[in-house]
Amino acid sequence: MTWVPSTAAERDAMLSVIGAKTIDDLFASVPASLRAKSWALPAGISEMAVRARLEKWAARNAGGVTSFLGGGAYDHFIPAAVDALTSRSEFYTAYTPYQPECSQGTLQSIYEYQSAICRLTGLDYANASLYDGGTAVFEATTMAVRLTRRNRVVCHGSLNPVYRAMLETHIANLDLELEDGESPEGAACVIVQNPGFRGDVEDFTALAERCHEEGALLVMSFYPISLGILKSPGEMGVDIAVAEGQCLGVPLNFGGPWLGVMATRKEHVRKMPGRIAAATEDAQGRRGFVLTLQAREQHIRREKAMSNICSNEALCALRALVYLTLLGKEGLREVARHCHSKAEYLKKRLSFAQILNDGPTFNEFAVRLPRNAEEVAAELITRGFLAGLPLASLGAGEPNDLLIAVTERRTREELDAFAHALEEVCS
Amino acid sequence: MQLSYEKSVPGRRAIVLDPLDVPEAALPAALCRKEAAALPELGELDVVRHFTRLSKLNFGIDSHFYPLGSCTMKYNPKLAEAVAALAGFAHLHPHLSTSPAFWAHCQGAFELLYETEQWLAEIAGMKEVTLQPIAGAHGELTGTLLMAAYHRDRGSKKDTILIPDSAHGTNPASAAIAGFKVIEIPSHEDGTLRLDSVKAAMSDTVAGIMMTCPNTHGLFEPAVAEIADLMHAHDALVYYDGANLNAIMGIARPGDLGFDVMHYNLHKTFATPHGMGGPGSGPVGVGERLAPYLPGPRVVKGGDGYELRAPEKSIGRVAAFFGNFMMALRAYAYMCHLGKEGLRQASENAVLNANYIFARLKHAYEPAFDLPFMHECVFTAAPQAKKGVRALDIAKALLDRGFHAPTVYFPLTVKESLMIEPTETESRETLDEFCDAMLDIAEAVDSDPESLHEAPKTTPVGRLDEVRAARQLNCAC
């Protein structure tokens, strides 16, 4: 089994041009003592057999279930044109656009993506993408540390506990203090999330003001779909906005690839990590796009770079761009409105449970059930529902607490059926 | 080409939802944005045509030979794309792994993760592998965090990492982001790393060394085993940058060479698409010493199927879940199809193709080193530069001849560097056409240098003004 086109005769002809007798002669620089001690791998199997095996494994995963599971990743509808356009191999088999003249499709897409993110967040500059929502929080943190030269980092209770755990891992060997709360005094930044992990929607304008009075930055992890209606990070005075962009036309993919989004204010752009595309002209005055401010990056600045990031999630950023372009100004507002209204409808149907959110929520809320949430979820999955995230499994709630998310995909019929099934297994 | 925003027509729509089937709910005005985000307003065909036309401005592997050194731009099999479209994987919610209550419903995904880790471990001679790191550089960061955890656990204050001057920029950047000081070790003029140079920088504060083998000069490091021994004698660790693993599959294994920790680039060696710069995937493999510190949770075999467990001294999570799962899936399909023989043949032919290009070009371009190249060959265009034609001009002239350029100006150790990595999936005809184009350009250096300065002429735009781009900084509209 191979994707090598050369025949034995061609290989011999090539070897004679090289002046070698056998292919092994080409490996003369690897001494016998350093050769592989083991190579115990299975023999290759046909394309047909590979597909059969993976189809079998795919069928062992939950399929065809009605999902109310969120917790940072959401089951939104993906228009057919997103897959059709992003599966063009001119996009997915291209490399990083270091040769701009033969990469204008990539570079203009990045420019349009950055523009979409800026318009969505109300901020001035966005980068071409980071890995995912969690690493974007880490990148925003180190960016804030660079900008303020302070080493105290404050995590607000609204932040996704998975992101907080990732942040802790990534900064373990740095001279930084991580604490919980919302006091900006002497801090490099306060990191908040809106809507919060348990669904609460807040206005962080006052906190942004307090941060700025104290010389700290406000970092916000946001939910891109919610910005169809919610107050933007820019309107609240946020300095660095980051997000998990999976909700923008990227499948759930069992956790990846997803999309790390980052945007910031004009004055901070030179400390921002990641690739940035900019418009310029060629000698004939034709508009074109290039990667810019590359002196921030590892291939130029090495150990003094703003980040070590090289590969990003460009193809997922293209998915997000195509998604946002298809939805357009009105479409995004419509999706957000549907998510919110349907979640509110479901909330009202769950009178047998206690809603744990005191204030407004967007499309996700926490409930305390009369029974253990993990048991309930396990029973409901056999009835065709992914009931939500049992919060205790992440140490983010009591054993009976369940985080429920609703997207535009859920019909009233499904909401009614789910509310009914949930009530049944709880009673 | 016009921007989508410039084509926008107020009120035009592409995707419209069904009418809302529940009562409309409203949030307090104070929590809402004042105006809708000004996204483009276009019809579906407008959008489809816009992006189809944009795609045609790109060179991709499916349309063009892409001999980028260090990037391993091999063919991305369609099989991998087909399995990545399977709904049972693509629409699987990762929080199914969060609660044991759901584990019975993601066993297929767990099996895929487990098996992929087994394959990668055997390929590189590592004890265990984590698929969490999202890209090569993220793998480097994870690897250096593991090194830090190991030394911290032993109560030692080793704060420095040695890195050869030929290393990828990500190596020193990752070490620094992880909190280490970096000492750069100069390469010998023959292009390899000498034991003496490493010894000269060695001290008790050295936590380890990061090496690439074959290195970015395309050369196997002859002192690799001695350098590993030196490190281990000082309780320092040896990191393998897997960017060039495509040269040695089935020939040599980092674990056997003495490496303690490494990253793989699934988007290089294992043929997952580069996607215009990502997503990639940078799994990390470790030997005995670092296995207890691996990121968690990890998929293990339990009594009733696969389950999750965190290693004893785990550094925690570097990804929210299992990294770029769909890239692992693609890589698994690639490995399974090729198997034991096919993977070895991939490396053999990668080295054959690079040496063939080298043999055809070595009289027209000056080799950067005299030692035998492996999967990539490095030339210096310094002689051409003396005649006024720089590596950049050669790169642009190649675009006009229908080829993506090689990597230029890297490694930084070679002046006017041209780094060519053809990979194993290219045919002899393609290699010949490329070599003919390179020879044609070499001739033009003497006969018509001006034509090279004007290149490229056949691309949608000519050379772009990068100074203006940085000065005016128009990055969004």
Residue B414 touches chain A, beta carbons under 8 Å: no
Residue A120: closest C-alpha in chain B? B37
Residue A358 touches chain B, beta carbons under 8 Å: no
Distance of alpha carbon B63 from alpha carbon B53, whole angstroms? 15
Q: What is the token pair recorded at B300?
A: 């293990």
Residue B388's identity, in one-letter code, is G
Q: Domain range spanning residue A200?
A: 80-321
Whether B51 sits inside 8 A of A85 (CB atoms) is: yes
**Pair (A315, A335) in one structural domain:** no
Distance of alpha carbon B221 from alpha carbon B213, whole angstroms? 6
Whether B60 sits inside 8 A of A329 (CB atoms) is: no
A425: closest CA of chain B, how far (Å) = 15
Distance of alpha carbon A314 from alpha carbon A103, whole angstroms? 13
Q: Is the peptide bond before A273 cis (omega within 30 degrees of 0)?
A: no
Q: Which of A11, A70, A313 sits opposite B352 (nearest CB)?
A: A11
| Structural class in CATH, domain B80-337 | alpha beta
Residue B73 touches chain A, beta carbons under 8 Å: yes
CATH number for the domain that contains residue A347: 3.90.1150.10
CATH number for region B345-454: 3.90.1150.10
**Pair (A287, A151) in one structural domain:** yes
Residue A32 touches chain B, beta carbons under 8 Å: no
Whether B41 contacts B10, CB under 8 Å: yes
Sequence-ordered strand ranges (E) for A270-345? 277-281, 287-291
Rounded to the nearest 10 degrees, how much is the dihedral formed by the CA atoms of B127, B129, B135, B140? -40
- Chosen domain end from A321, A338, A357: A321
What pLDDT, on the 0 to 100 scale, is given for residue A10?
97
Chain position carrying tokens 């004698």:
B233
> What is the maximal distance between C-alpha atoms in chain B?
77
**Pair (A315, A240) in one structural domain:** yes
Distance of alpha carbon B10 from alpha carbon A329, whole angstroms? 9
Q: What is the token pair recorded at A221?
A: 């992890």
Helix (H), strand (E) at residue B232: helix B224-233
What pLDDT, on the 0 to 100 scale, is given for residue A168?
98
Whether A95 sits inside 8 A of B274 (CB atoms) is: yes
Distance of alpha carbon A422 from alpha carbon A182, whole angstroms? 36
Residue B429: count of CB within 10 angstroms of its CB:
10
Residue B42 touches chain A, beta carbons under 8 Å: yes
What pLDDT, on the 0 to 100 scale, is given for residue B15?
96
Test the B interface: residue of A95, A139, A200 with most B CBs within 10 Å: A95
Looking at chain A, the whole-number percentage of residues with pLDDT higher than 90 is 96
Residue B477 touches chain A, beta carbons under 8 Å: yes
Residue B25 touches chain A, beta carbons under 8 Å: yes
What pLDDT, on the 0 to 100 scale, is given for residue A295?
87
Whether pLDDT at A300 is above 90: no
Q: Does a structural domain hold residue A3?
A: no
Residue A427 touches chain B, beta carbons under 8 Å: no
What pLDDT, on the 0 to 100 scale, is given for residue B133?
98
Whether A4 sits inside 8 A of B44 (CB atoms) is: no
The arithmetic mean of pLDDT across residues A120-137, rounded, is 98
Is residue A420 very low, low, confident or very high in pLDDT (cuts 50, 70, 90)? very high
Q: What is the distance in angstroms between the CA of the first residue and the CA of the last residue of chain A?
A: 57
Q: Does a structural domain hold residue A2?
A: no
Q: What is the token pair recorded at B301?
A: 């075999």
The interface residues of chain A toward chain B in range 299-318, judged by CB-CB distance below 8 A, are 299-305, 307-316, 318
B118 contacts in chain A (CB < 8 Å): none
- Chosen domain end from A321, A356, A389: A321
Whether B341 contacts B249, CB under 8 Å: no
A109 contacts in chain B (CB < 8 Å): 51, 54, 276
Residue A163 touches chain B, beta carbons under 8 Å: yes
B325 contacts in chain A (CB < 8 Å): 253-256
Residue A195 touches chain B, beta carbons under 8 Å: no
Distance of alpha carbon B217 from alpha carbon B198, whole angstroms? 18
Residue A252 touches chain B, beta carbons under 8 Å: yes
Whether A150 contacts A186, CB under 8 Å: yes
What pLDDT, on the 0 to 100 scale, is given for residue B152?
97
Q: Does a structural domain hold residue A254?
A: yes
**Pair (A274, A418) in one structural domain:** no
Residue A194: closest C-alpha in chain B? B31
- Span A245-295, pLDDT tens digits: 999 999 999 999 999 999 999 999 999 999 999 999 999 999 999 999 998
Q: Does a structural domain hold residue A402?
A: yes
A300 contacts in chain B (CB < 8 Å): 169
Distance of alpha carbon A189 from alpha carbon A143, whole angstroms? 10
Q: Does a structural domain hold residue A17?
A: no
- Chosen domain end from A280, A297, A321: A321
Cβ neighbours of residue A206 closer than 8 Å, sequence gap 6 or more:
none
Residue B96 touches chain A, beta carbons under 8 Å: yes
Taking only the tens of pLDDT, chain B with its 477 residues reads: 999 999 999 999 999 999 999 999 999 999 999 999 999 999 999 999 999 999 999 999 999 999 999 999 999 999 999 999 999 999 999 999 999 999 999 999 999 999 999 999 999 999 999 999 999 999 999 999 999 999 999 999 999 999 999 999 999 999 999 999 999 999 999 999 999 999 999 999 999 999 999 999 999 999 999 999 999 999 999 999 999 999 999 999 999 999 999 999 999 999 999 999 999 999 999 999 999 999 999 999 998 899 999 999 999 999 999 999 999 999 999 999 999 999 999 999 999 999 999 999 999 999 999 999 999 999 999 999 999 999 999 999 999 999 999 999 999 999 999 999 999 999 999 999 999 999 999 999 999 999 999 999 999 999 999 999 999 999 999
Concatenate the DSSP letters of all residues of A195-233 into one string: S-TT-B----HHHHHHHHHTT-EEEEEE-GGGGGTBPPH
Whether B441 contacts B420, CB under 8 Å: no
Residue A384: count of CB within 10 angstroms of its CB:
14
Q: What is the token pair recorded at B422?
A: 């053809």
B324 contacts in chain A (CB < 8 Å): 253, 256-257
B261: closest CA of chain A, how far (Å) = 17
**Pair (A222, A181) in one structural domain:** yes
Whether B88 sits inside 8 A of A276 (CB atoms) is: no
Whether B281 contacts B135, CB under 8 Å: yes
Q: What is each CA distance from A319 to A46, A314, B260, in whole angstroms?
A: 31, 9, 38
**Pair (A274, A387) in one structural domain:** no
Whether A253 sits inside 8 A of B316 (CB atoms) is: no
Annotated domain spans of chain B: 4-55, 80-337, 345-454
Q: Does a structural domain hold residue A61?
A: no
- B377-380 and B417-420: which strand pairing? antiparallel
**Pair (A220, A160) in one structural domain:** yes
Instruction: Compute and round to an integer the Cα radius of gyration of chain A.
Output: 25
Sheet bearing A364-368, strands edge to edge: A354-355, A364-368, A401-405, A389-390
CATH number for the domain that contains residue A222: 3.40.640.10
Distance of alpha carbon A337 from alpha carbon A343, whole angstroms? 10
The interface residues of chain B toward chain A in range 423-442, judged by CB-CB distance below 8 A, are 424-428
Q: What is the token pair recorded at B280?
A: 């990639």
Dihedral sign (CA A37, A40, A41, A43): positive
Q: Which of B105, B470, B475 sits opposite A125 (nearest CB)?
A: B475
Residue B6 touches chain A, beta carbons under 8 Å: no
B446: closest CA of chain A, how far (Å) = 25
Helix (H), strand (E) at residue A290: strand A287-291
A362 contacts in chain B (CB < 8 Å): 27
Q: Which of B34, B338, B465 sits opposite A1 (nearest CB)?
A: B338
The arithmetic mean of pLDDT across residues A316-328, rounded, is 98
What pLDDT, on the 0 to 100 scale, is given for residue A63?
85
**Pair (A91, A177) in one structural domain:** yes
Residue B386: count of CB within 10 angstroms of its CB:
10
**Pair (A162, A281) in one structural domain:** yes
Q: Which of B332, B333, B352 sits opposite A26 (nearest CB)?
A: B352
Residue B343 touches chain A, beta carbons under 8 Å: yes
**Pair (A218, A335) in one structural domain:** no
Q: Does a structural domain hold residue A159?
A: yes
Distance of alpha carbon B131 from alpha carbon B109, whole angstroms? 13
A vs B, Cβ pairs < 8 A, gives 701
Residue A404's identity, in one-letter code, is I
Q: B24: closest CA among A389, A306, A339?
A: A339
Whether pLDDT at A64 is above 90: no
Burial of A239 (0-12, 13-18, 19+ CB in 10 A): buried
Residue B320: count of CB within 10 angstroms of its CB:
28
Distance of alpha carbon A424 from alpha carbon A418, whole angstroms? 10
Q: What is the token pair recorded at A232?
A: 């933007």
A411 contacts in chain B (CB < 8 Å): 21
Residue B107: count of CB within 10 angstroms of its CB:
18
The interface residues of chain B toward chain A in range 190-229, judged by CB-CB distance below 8 A, are 219-220, 222, 224-225
Helix (H), strand (E) at residue A190: strand A189-194
**Pair (A310, A418) in one structural domain:** no
**Pair (A153, A230) in one structural domain:** yes
Q: Which of B33, B172, B466 sits opposite A235 (nearest CB)?
A: B33
